[in-house]
Amino acid sequence: KAGVTQTPRYLIKTRGQQVTLSCSPISGHRSVSWYQQTPGQGLQFLFEYFSETQRNKGNFPGRFSGRQFSNSRSEMNVSTLELGDSALYLCASSRTLAGSTDTQYFGPGTRLTVL
Amino acid sequence: GIQVEQSPPDLILQEGANSTLRCNFSDSVNNLQWFHQNPWGQLINLFYIPSGTKQNGRLSATTVATERYSLLYISSSQTTDSGVYFCAVGAPLGSSNTGKLIFGQGTTLQVKP
């Protein structure tokens, strides 16, 4: 069974631009969660989508948004990029809601650099 | 919210040595996972262990939920075990912290040949 896939793997943008990252969950998984990893803040939860609905959101500004499609694939968008948005963005999938007793599986991540 | 503390923050071992990594959490959880982050950044699942003990080869883990801690044991360490180990917990449905994994800051392990 294929794992979680994320595209692109690497991205370089300049301040003020916007970016869209994509995540395809494991087949049959309906929950997709997004996390941001930085050296200073560690791994922080961005949001979770389940059945095309945002179920939970972390403490990030409105510039960070996402959506989920009917095939469970998810995209996250960051508008008006700032230098501090440079990070590794990780996507995780699980069969059921992320808050349940279910294992989350992570993709390889997208490394975003903002210049 | 739930706090997750991992210790030690850094660990240097000689190949063949054993080690114990600890994860303390501040509230009841219904989900606890251990991950190994590889040099390319991917989080590799090691264990899903909200309670009890599990073993997988040279790795084993124990979670004592009533005392709010989990331990990851690595025996006969190899250089390929190097990397960052994360503990992450999830809160029960209905709590303010549900719907996400809360990560500790990680333990960076270096195994020297």
> Are B106 and A42 a contacting pair at CB < 8 A?
yes
Mean pLDDT, residues B64-71 taken together:
97
Nearest CB neighbour to A56, from listed B35, B86, B100:
B100
A4-25 residue pLDDT tens = 999 999 999 999 999 999 999 9
Closest by CA position to B54, among listed B39, B32, B29: B32
In three-state secondary structure terms, B19 is strand
Report the residue count for chain B.
113
Average pLDDT, chain B: 93
Percent of chain B with pLDDT over 90: 79
Least confident of A95-104, B17-26, B52-61, B102-111: A95-104
Can you tell me the mean pLDDT for B4-9?
98
Residue type, A90: L
Indicate if the pLDDT at residue A1 is higher than 80. no
Q: Between chains, do A43 and B88 touch, taking CB under 8 Å as contact? A: yes
Closest CB to B105 among A42, A58, A104: A42
Q: Which helix (H) or strand (E) holds A45?
A: strand A42-50
Q: How confident is the model at residue B92 (pLDDT cuts 50, 70, 90)?
A: confident
Look up residue A55 and give its two tokens: 């179920």
Q: Give the sheet arrangement for strand A64-68, strand by strand.
A: A5-7, A19-24, A74-78, A64-68
